[in-house]
Structure 1
């Protein structure tokens, strides 16, 4: 890959210009540049192959270790992606260590209101907020369990393929957790494609 080609893609991931609508929404919700840059690096890494994917995951891993607090599950995800890509056991073991506190993270995460299809559904959520939140936490726990099973080698779950359909439009902690659960490469296909 030439220098110009590499630089051509860098602004899409790292850069946040004034026309970047997603960045404006994320910033308004309290996200940092590191939050959105990590998500974009992981998305492009999962979509890519070969050296480009390895570079994206390495950058995301370094960013997570430098910018995210211990206990943030995204610190585990970047290491897990590198493991899925290369098969390096050291990355898997680090991901498992970092994933240890995910249950307590789920209990403390901030859940912001979702857009609803009708005023009726909006009112129902407002009246039964605790029930909605409990159900969402239960669903997020299922995603976290699948990720743990993958890290332990016990499950063959699709992760990255599900991100597009599960990606929340709201910039809150649930989006960070879902990204942590889903933004790793799917199975052997990518590892085989990356042996170059």
Structure 2
């Protein structure tokens, strides 16, 4: 279930951690691929990212790219607000209106998962405190968690050897061992449309 934070159209890839839950963030000044099938295979996409990352590393001589830390406060705040605004308001409670808190129901809607499985993950696996205190909402099994707490617990739950060093760095398993060295920042995705051509042998 562990996965890096995936991007779709108008969504900016960020790595909270090697994220179990797919938190999405709107893009800033970046055009998405014109067609979803330009680089449809998983191997093709990874190849493109690796080549682009290597090219950028070779071009950078003095300047060192500084990525935001895991659970960077700005990323967490923007992501949490985005989830709150892009999903339904399920309970109409104080916690439901708090942009620093997210309900299990909202996460479930966002990642198209079972609300029950998300509730169990947040409460039992991560042991997060339920910030919902409205009795009517609780009667409907409402579970709300603080977004920063969620991020920090998620990061702590991932073994150090499988954890990216920062946000905007993706991990993959080339031969069973986790490697975290792919730049997935907004800058790294500038020009990714041209890189899709390598999947089809074009120049």
Q: Same fold per TM (> 0.5)?
A: no
Structure with higher RCO (Cα < 8 A, 6+ apart): 2
Greater C-alpha Rg: 2
Q: TM-score, normalised by structure 2?
A: 0.32
More strand by share: 2
